[in-house]
């Protein structure tokens, strides 16, 4: 890919400075311009700038770029057209080189900046975000495989239900439940609202819950786990938000929990997946199998969680429960190399004047300098900074869980295993390997962070039969 010609870059940089684009975003804006110019040389495009922006945005979505990235790219290209008229653009740019599709595979989480005053910017952004039937200045709920997971918190045409969902969110936040719990409970609340066709929340009864759970099981044929999740969400809604009688548990139909046996991989199968993972996702997979981490626990690690002197890792799991696990000694060189990368990136961020990493709750108010201190930096940071439009700050986020799941799924397909494998399978394999090594269930329960020993006991079903006690089929007698 050829660099942007100097005559184009000068005008583009001048407009970026005029619009006061934050310095930390300048590299991203120039990057989108390079990609767009390369895109123009590879595909026949219409003459109007608006159509070119729309097609470029469609290409970004096909590469699974987020809505924020597409919006940022559209703003960059609209500034490009504002700096040079179409008649002055050199269409001979970008001969053979690295395909734009390859470069667009990188993950960025920047959300762009909020200066949308120019007509060209508004036109481009409206076109990028508009559905086929008309124009709206809002991103679509779905873009390829990505969609707005928090659409359940948006306003609807039923103000009474909007108030209920707001109270639901408040009750969950007061109890310091996880963001996933908030998302799932609010989502089931909206589904319940849709089933009842916006029935007044003040008129709800326990019979409505019975009818809805029966509908889920009979008409929708949902799994038992989905039905039980809906039950728990509605139970919380009735008890803590609506303050209504939910009825006795005997009156509410509940699905029987399935006898689930986790999938477990051998060491050879683990290695066949890891070989197809690139950095830093490979390191997350190694920590999952080497320490028994959940995918969220692996992505959310900070520098201060690693103690190389004692060889221990501090893990903050579900419900903010903290545990310590031993670090694999074979990973020490890779972990220390990653730590050096984090230190170098931290120095570059400080020189660029960034505002620090994201911290939980009100921790930054208690420790005002913590966000910029090395020990609080993410051990697996995101490649680009995230711009917060409300505070005009640029902050660093960690590698996102969903991105790790996508990359892991690709690695599993390349490994061509005959088992159903997810990233959580590495955690199952860790527990089973520890059982085979002779560790007792109580120790493994502590290492995995299980609240109930019965959750750990499920891995007893994954153990192979002991030598001399193998159960044989009558056909093998």
The DSSP-derived string for 263-287 is ----HHHHHHHHTTPPTTHHHHHHH
Predicted local confidence at residue 134, as pLDDT: 31
The predicted-structure confidence for 234-261, as pLDDT tens digits, reads as follows 999 998 998 888 777 676 666 676 677 8
Least confident among 102-116, 120-134, 211-225: 102-116
The predicted-structure confidence for 304-361, as pLDDT tens digits, reads as follows 999 999 999 999 888 778 899 999 999 999 999 999 999 998 898 888 888 888 888 7
Catalytic pick among 116, 210, 372, 424:
424
Q: How many CB atoms lie within 10 A of CB 290?
A: 20
CA–CA dist 51, 58 (Å, integer): 11
- Residue 18, pLDDT > 80, answer no
Q: Is 54 a catalytic residue?
A: no
Which domains are present in the chain?
6-148 (no CATH), 152-251 (1.10.150.130), 263-477 (1.10.443.10)
- Residue 382, pLDDT > 60, answer yes
CA–CA dist 138, 127 (Å, integer): 10
Does this model's pTM top 0.75? My answer is no
Predicted local confidence at residue 90, as pLDDT: 36
Give the pair of three-digit tokens for residue 292.
């028994």
Q: Which of 154, 117, 162 is nearest to 138 (CA)?
A: 154
Q: What is the DSSP string of 102-145?
A: HHTTS-------S---SHHHHHHHHHHH--TTS--SS--SEETT
Q: Is 424 a catalytic residue?
A: yes
Catalytic pick among 318, 323, 341, 372:
318
- Sign of the Cα torsion 356, 358, 361, 363 reads negative
Distance linking the first and last C-alpha atoms of the chain? 67
> How does 457-466 read in b/e, with b if 16+ C-beta sit within 10 Å?
eebeebeeee
Residues 173-181, mean pLDDT to the nearest whole number: 84
Predicted local confidence at residue 302, as pLDDT: 92
Q: Is 191 a catalytic residue?
A: no
Looking at beta carbons, which pairs linking 10-15 to residues 24 or more positions away fall under 8 Å?
A: 11/83, 11/84, 12/79, 12/80, 12/83, 12/84, 14/83, 15/79, 15/82, 15/83
* Phi, psi dihedral angles at 24 (to 5 degrees): -70, -15
Catalytic pick among 31, 294, 302, 428:
294
| Residue with the larger pLDDT of the pair 117 and 438 | 438
Catalytic pick among 302, 427, 428, 430:
427
Q: Is 116 a catalytic residue?
A: no
The predicted-structure confidence for 340-356, as pLDDT tens digits, reads as follows 999 998 898 888 888 88
């Amino acid at each position: 890919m050829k660099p942007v010609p100097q005559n184009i870059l000068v005008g583009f940089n001048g407009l970026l400075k005029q619009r006061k684009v934050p310095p930390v975003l300048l590299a991203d804006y120039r990057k989108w311009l390079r990609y767009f110019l390369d895109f123009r040389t590879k595909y026949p495009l219409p003459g109007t700038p608006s159509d070119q922006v729309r097609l470029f945005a469609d290409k970004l979505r096909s590469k699974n770029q987020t809505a924020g990235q597409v919006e940022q790219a559209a703003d960059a290209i609209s500034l490009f057209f504002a700096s040079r008229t179409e008649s002055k653009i050199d269409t001979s740019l970008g001969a053979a080189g690295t395909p734009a599709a390859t470069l667009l595979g990188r993950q960025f989480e920047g959300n762009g900046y909020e200066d949308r005053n120019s007509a060209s910017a508004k036109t481009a952004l409206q076109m990028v975000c508009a559905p086929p039937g008309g124009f709206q200045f809002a991103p679509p709920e779905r873009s390829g495989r990505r969609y707005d997971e928090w659409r359940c918190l948006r306003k609807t045409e039923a103000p009474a239900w909007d108030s209920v969902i707001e109270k639901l969110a408040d009750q969950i936040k007061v109890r310091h439940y996880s963001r996933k719990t908030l998302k799932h409970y609010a989502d089931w609340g909206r589904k319940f609202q849709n089933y009842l066709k916006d029935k007044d929340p003040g008129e709800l009864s326990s019979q409505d819950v019975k009818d809805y759970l029966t509908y889920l099981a009979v008409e929708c044929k949902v799994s038992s786990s989905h039905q039980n999740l809906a039950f728990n969400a509605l139970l919380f809604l009735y008890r803590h938000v609506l303050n209504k009688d939910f009825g006795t548990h005997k009156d509410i139909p509940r699905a029987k929990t399935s006898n689930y046996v986790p999938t477990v991989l051998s060491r050879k199968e683990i290695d066949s997946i890891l070989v197809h993972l690139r950095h830093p996702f490979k390191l997350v997979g190694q920590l999952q199998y080497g320490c028994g981490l959940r995918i969220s626990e692996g992505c959310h690690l900070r520098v201060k969680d690693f103690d190389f002197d004692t060889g221990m890792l501090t893990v903050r799991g579900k419900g903010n429960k903290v545990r310590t696990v031993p670090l694999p000694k074979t990973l020490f060189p890779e972990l220390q190399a990653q730590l050096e990368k984090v230190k170098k990136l931290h120095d570059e961020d400080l020189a660029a004047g960034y505002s620090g990493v994201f911290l939980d709750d009100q921790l930054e108010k208690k420790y005002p300098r913590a966000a910029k201190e090395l020990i609080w930096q993410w051990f697996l940071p995101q490649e680009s900074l995230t711009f917060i439009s409300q505070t005009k700050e640029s902050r660093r986020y960690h590698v996102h869980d969903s991105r790790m799941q996508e990359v892991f799924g690709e690695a599993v397909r390349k490994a061509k295993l005959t088992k159903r494998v997810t990233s959580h399978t590495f955690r199952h394999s860790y527990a089973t390997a520890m059982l085979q090594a002779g560790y007792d269930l109580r120790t493994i329960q502590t290492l995995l962070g299980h609240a109930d020993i019965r959750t750990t006991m499920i891995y007893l079903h994954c153990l192979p039969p002991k030598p001399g006690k193998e159960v044989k089929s009558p056909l093998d007698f």
